[in-house]
Amino acid sequence: MIDRRSFATGLIAAVSAVHLPTSALAKRRVELDPRFLPQTVVSPYAQPAGTIVVAPRDRFLYLIEGRGAARRYGIGVGKAGLAFSGSAIIERKAKWPAWRPTANMIRRDPAKYARYADGVPGGPGNPLGSRALYLYRDGRDTYYRIHGTTEPWTIGQAVSNGCIRMVNEHVEELYERVPLGSRVVVV
Residues annotated as catalytic (active site), given as ranges: 147, 163
DSSP character for 36?
G
3-state helix, strand, coil in the chain (%, to 5): 20, 35, 40
Contact 159, 111 (CB under 8 A): no
Contacts of 149 (CB under 8 A, 6+ apart): 76, 127, 128, 129, 155, 165, 166, 167, 168
Beta bridge partners of 137: 140
**Which residue, 146, 149, 150, is CA-closest to 133?**
146
